[in-house]
Structure 1
Amino acid sequence: MKYYIIAGEASGDLHGSNLIKALKKEDAQAQVRCWGGDLMQAAGGTLAKHYKELAFMGFMEVLLNLGTIVQNIRFCKKDIAQFAPDVVIFIDYSGFNLKIAKWAKKTGFRTNYYISPQVWASRAGRVEKIKRDIDAMYVILPFEKAFYRARGYNVTFVGHPLIDAIAQQRETSRDDFVEQHGLHPEKPIIALLPGSRKQEVAKMLEGMLSLVPRFPEHQFVIAGAPSLEADFYRQLTKNAGVRFIDNQTYSLLGHAQAALVTSGTATLETALFMVPQVVCYKAHWLSYQIARRIITLRFISLVNLIMDREVVKELVQNDFTEENLYRELSKIIHGPERGHMLEAYAALRQKLGGTGASNKAAHHIYTSLKGS
């Protein structure tokens, strides 16, 4: 079978790579062409476009890059038509993928979605488009199945692929880790996860780094995103007294005492590594004003959304200040809040189900193709 997979960011590249591996186990003759990154390519996909060319975030940033986005849409349609896959598989990245899905369905291609767009967060009316354009949806968050069922669309819950990704992580001793990266052997580590796109990383690090002088007995280490160059981080952290580790977020979380995390998939990854965290987010003023009017959720972090209560503190926009950061980080290092958070993390893992999300999704996709 021929599979065309579209992922538009680093997390999609990770989950897409595991899906490709699982598809190749199910289908020894699988041919995969994809939009993604180095991980999907290493898993055996032929890369049509790298996600580094697609990293536009926020309403203003999208508007400023409309020309490039339109060109990418045209190229994608042409590339799919030339490859003529048995199925087009979309991974998250809804703004782009739902446009391609509409065309692909009309053109006669089978369409599957793995990792649902966050229609439960805003513009739930998009469910009607999904029902029209997507033949099968495989969701990874436990509340999504009920959300879609209430709107007349049956989806399949396969569990969360992060559990698989983390289970595959090779453990390193703290001694080896600190020696490899030139870290202080005694000081506890505070991990900084400022995002994966240049605009957000620059904005978030400015606030996060303000805490460094206030925690002299700790060492702050930045988790570098695979989509960004080391020089970009070095320019932002001159004389800041922090370390930068490129593309080794899981290893860093495996040895961190606490973390400051920009909202997104990283909040869930941090929780699954049992690292107490403060969730932070600050957007362009106009992007934030638009977002707060269309997003209907109580929380922005996946941890709180899944648990349906405040497990981790969220410092958003005007609440993202040095004093608030200092107070909340101190609580999860020294206070009883640390133990409460770890207890909630254990319950969170139970809600997400066991391992095998990618394998389950691949099995469903391949079986449906064989039966058609």
Structure 2
Amino acid sequence: MKYYLIAGEPSGDLHGANLIEGLRKADPEAEFRFWGGDRMAEAGGRQNLRKHYRETSFFGIVQVLKNLRTIRRQMRECREDVAAWRPDALILIDYPGFNMKMARWASGHGIRTFYYIAPKVWAWREWRVKSIRRYVDRLYIIFPFERDYFPRHGIDPVFEGNPLVDAIEARRPTLPDGDAFRRRNGLDNRPIIALVAGSRRGEIRDNLPLMARLAERFPDRQFVVTGVPWLERALYDRYMAGTGLRYVCDQTYETIAAAEAAVVTSGTATLETALLGTPEVVVYRTLWFQVKLQPYVLKVPWVSLVNLNLGREAVAEIIQSDLDVARAERELRAILPGGAKRGRMEADFEELRTVIGGPGASERFARRMVGELKKNRT
């Protein structure tokens, strides 16, 4: 059968690649075409990559407005390509700003549509639930708490675990120990604190200077910034100049695994850090009025995926218009070796691994998709 996948971010590229490998096992005659990135190209054939996410990623209202003409052109190109290729299934991976519009279009053109990794409608923009119910043939979810949320809104989702576990377990055997990581990156012998400041320009701009202020209070540790390869080094240097922060690029898992603790912005990285077993503090800086509006706009009591999946505050969340360095220092000291909260947090992370599900989720999701298509054909 023929599968057309659309992912618009690095995380979607990773999960899309793992899903393609699962689909190959479940359907040996599978053919692929996709919008995604290098990982999907490696899994599904570079000749089948129609558009790289580097060309399609526009974050924030300002970027979207500035590139509105480009976005409309890309949407038109995508629809024309899907229509010409005539897939058995269109698989939309997260990326709701683009993919929800594709779902509506595909529904009107009789193309079977699977949504893999649901939009976070339980947090904000809940009105999208109606569109999912109307335009998506099958929704595949990756968080346990979503199993209760979506049925309340008339959607019967499929849950088979979280594919992030597959990505981490695939990398775990190759992760260096602390000493090897220090030697590889020219670091000194002090214990490492990982700084995961985000993967977008705005996140680096807002969070990294505040993390640098926190690092000043721990001269006996070295704070290592996890750079991402799609952002230039100069962006990081702008906020690291004159600080003692160290920088490594494209080694996020390696840095977190080598660290005795991490300071992480909200997002998928909070879950990755927990699954790697490294105690963490979640910090996120936003505009003051957004902090004030948070209780009215956000539909959930926490922002980190760790707390959302456990249903309680297992990791401290410091969401402010300006980082309270004193509180961040207290929370970080509490999870360092010997700290009052470290043992409890490590136990919580063990529970999280059980709740989130074991390895093999990508293959299980793929089997369910293939089975759904075969049932539909029959």
Alignment of 1:239-258 (within 5 A): 239-258=242-261
TM-score (normalizing by structure 1)? 0.94
Alignment of 1:119-198 (within 5 A): 119-169=121-171, 170-184=174-188, 186-198=189-201
Query: What's the secondary structure of 2:286's corresponding residue?
Result: coil
> How far did residue 66 of structure 1 move?
3.0
Question: Deviation per CA, 1:105-144, whole angstroms, max 9, x where unpaired?
Answer: 1111110011111111123332221111111111111111
The residue that corresponds to 1:51 in the other structure is: 53
Query: What CA distance in whole angstroms lies between the structure 2 residues aligned with 1:47 and 1:267?
Result: 30
The residue that corresponds to 1:2 in the other structure is: 2
Distance 1:296 1:20, change over 3 A: same
> How far did residue 196 of structure 1 move?
0.8
The residue that corresponds to 1:37 in the other structure is: 37
Q: Which runs of 5+ in 1 are unaligned?
A: none
Query: What CA distance in whole angstroms lies between the structure 2 residues aligned with 1:223 and 1:314?
Result: 20
Query: What CA distance in whole angstroms lies between the structure 1 residues aligned with 2:146 and 2:196?
Result: 26
Which of 365, 368, 372 is 2:372 aligned to?
368
Question: Deviation per CA, 1:233-292, whole angstroms, max 9, x where unpaired?
Answer: 233322322222211111111111111101000000001111111111123557666765
Number of aligned residue pairs: give it: 371
Distance 1:287 1:57, change over 3 A: farther
Query: What CA distance in whole angstroms lies between the structure 2 residues aligned with 1:284 and 1:41?
Result: 38
Query: What CA distance in whole angstroms lies between the structure 2 residues aligned with 1:123 and 1:211?
Result: 33
RMSD, matched Cα: 1.9
Q: Which runs of 5+ in 2 are unaligned?
A: none
Alignment of 1:182-261 (within 5 A): 182-184=186-188, 186-261=189-264
The residue that corresponds to 1:300 in the other structure is: 303
Query: What's the secondary structure of 2:248's corresponding residue?
Result: strand
Are 2:319 and 1:320 aligned?
A: no
Structure 1 residue identity aligned to 2:49: L
> Would you say the 8 A contact 2:291–2:319 is kept in 1?
no
TM-score (normalizing by structure 2)? 0.92
Query: What's the secondary structure of 2:179's corresponding residue?
Result: helix
Query: What CA distance in whole angstroms lies between the structure 1 residues aligned with 2:128 and 2:232?
Result: 35
Structure 1 residue identity aligned to 2:246: R
Query: What CA distance in whole angstroms lies between the structure 1 residues aligned with 2:36 and 2:369?
Result: 19
The residue that corresponds to 1:358 in the other structure is: 362
> Would you say the 8 A contact 1:111–1:136 is kept in 2?
yes
Alignment of 1:269-348 (within 5 A): 269-284=272-287, 293-318=296-321, 320-333=323-336, 334-348=338-352
The residue that corresponds to 1:94 in the other structure is: 96
Query: What CA distance in whole angstroms lies between the structure 1 residues aligned with 2:214 and 2:291?
Result: 24
